[in-house]
């Protein structure tokens, strides 16, 4: 049995056993680069898996796709290979540490916009097969806001917004909320303050950010948590191993474990009509026809 057949059997088994399951699509955003978003995504995915959640990570970081590098893996195929070589989604679904399933970037939505109509249809058909396959689909769209990444965030069930306490990072994160909120007032944000020197700093930074968003945008956001500035993270990067696996007892790893449990406990049901992977793709497809 080849890899493609094995993935198809696995997907069929999941479909039969959990035909009512809705995959929650969550994008991870940041106002600027260098705030630790890719490291967060990988370790958050692994911590969710540890709690029994099935997770798929999709790397759509345009021009800067690096999740595979942080895992020390070499993907056989990238997202664009699926389309141009007509490979199934199961062929390009790679496996990283602890069996974490991910689709490598190597290209982004900007390249996808240049596809022919039949190629786009194939792309959407294949991605839709993930609907119900995983409990959580995490999407890395890259730092800042491009026209393409905006559409991803607007289409997602939820947005995790990552920032650091630095004023420039906070200001850029505020701009992300302002722009996305202006286009979709009902958009849901979970704020994570990364690289805090102490827990009190994270609480204060998150509270100030929440107050500013409430006062000037009349928008409620949730303070998801604060992650300590931990030397173990950089050490893990040098080893090309997610810090959650390389240093499971590090403060950053223990914090991720708590955040994962909080995420599961606070998760709301995904709307059957507008949510999940089908809803995400329905919204994204409008970008190609507008």
Q: What is the pLDDT of residues 3-43, one digit of tens each?
A: 555 555 555 555 444 445 689 999 999 998 889 999 999 99
How big is the CA angle at 142 (ends 280 and 179), to the nearest 5 degrees? Answer: 70
pLDDT of residue 192: 98
Digit-coded pLDDT (tens) for 153-169: 999 999 999 999 999 99
Tokens standing for residue 51? 């709690």
Q: What is residue 110's predicted lDDT score, i.e. its pLDDT?
A: 60
Rounded-to-integer distance, Cα 41 and Cα 165, Å: 19
The residue written with tokens 């029994």 in the block is: 52
Query: What per-residue confidence (pLDDT) applies to 148?
Result: 77
pLDDT number for residue 22: 80
What does DSSP assign to residue 21? Answer: -
DSSP character string of 102-131: EE--SS-HHHHTTS-HHHHHHHHHHHHTTT
**pLDDT value at position 16?**
42
pTM of the model: 0.89
* Mean pLDDT on 113-138: 88
Show Cβ contacts of residue 117 under 8 Å, excluding neighbours closer than 6 positions: none
**Range with the poorest average pLDDT among 32-46, 217-231, 239-253, 259-273:** 259-273
Strands 55-59 and 158-163: unpaired
* pLDDT of 210 over the 50 cut: yes
pLDDT reported for residue 145: 86
The mean per-residue pLDDT over the stretch 71-96 comes to 91
The pLDDT value recorded for residue 17 is 42
Q: What average pLDDT does the structure give for the chain?
A: 87
- Mean pLDDT over 62-81 rounds to 82
Nearest residue to 104 via CA among 114, 115, 95 = 95
Strand ranges for 43-197 from DSSP E:
55-59, 94-95, 101-103, 136-140, 158-163, 189-196
Helix (H, G, I), strand (E, B) or coil at 191: strand
* pLDDT of 118: 87
Report the distance separating Cα 215 and Cα 198, nearest Å.
26
Q: For the sheet containing 55-59, what is the strand order?
A: 94-95, 101-103, 55-59, 136-140, 24-30, 158-163, 189-196, 222-228
The whole-number pLDDT of residue 290 equals 57
Share of the chain above pLDDT 90, in %: 63
Which one is predicted more confidently, 16 or 243? 243
What whole-number distance in Å separates Cα of residue 108 and Cα of residue 152? Answer: 11
Q: Which of 61, 49, 141, 149 minimizes the C-alpha distance to 100?
A: 49
Indicate the pLDDT class of residue 120, thresholds 50, 70 and 90.
Answer: confident
């Amino acid at each position: 049995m080849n890899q493609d057949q094995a993935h198809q059997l696995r997907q069929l088994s999941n479909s039969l056993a959990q035909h009512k399951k809705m995959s929650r699509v969550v994008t991870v955003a940041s106002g600027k680069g260098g705030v630790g978003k890719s490291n967060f995504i990988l370790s958050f995915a692994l911590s969710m898996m540890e709690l029994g959640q099935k997770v798929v990570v999709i790397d759509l970081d345009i021009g800067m796709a690096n999740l595979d590098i942080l895992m020390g893996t070499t993907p056989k195929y990238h997202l664009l290979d699926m389309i141009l070589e007509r490979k199934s989604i199961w062929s390009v679904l790679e496996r990283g540490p602890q069996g974490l399933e991910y689709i490598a970037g190597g290209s982004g939505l900007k390249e996808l916009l240049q596809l022919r109509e039949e190629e786009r249809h194939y792309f959407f058909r294949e991605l839709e097969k993930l609907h119900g396959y995983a409990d959580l689909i995490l999407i890395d769209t890259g730092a800042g806001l491009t026209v393409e990444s905006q559409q991803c965030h607007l289409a997602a069930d939820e947005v995790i917004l990552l920032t650091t306490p630095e004023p420039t990072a906070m200001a850029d994160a505020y701009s992300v909320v302002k722009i996305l909120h202006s286009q979709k007032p009902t958009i849901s944000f979970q704020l994570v303050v990364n690289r805090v020197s102490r827990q009190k700093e994270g609480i204060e930074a998150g509270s100030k950010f929440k107050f500013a968003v409430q006062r000037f945008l009349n928008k409620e956001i949730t303070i998801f948590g604060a992650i300590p500035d931990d030397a173990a993270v950089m050490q893990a990067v040098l080893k090309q191993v997610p810090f959650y696996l390389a240093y499971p007892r590090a403060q950053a790893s223990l914090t991720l474990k708590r955040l994962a449990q909080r995420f599961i406990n606070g998760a709301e049901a995904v709307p059957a009509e507008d949510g999940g992977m089908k809803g995400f793709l329905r919204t994204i497809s409008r970008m190609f026809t507008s």
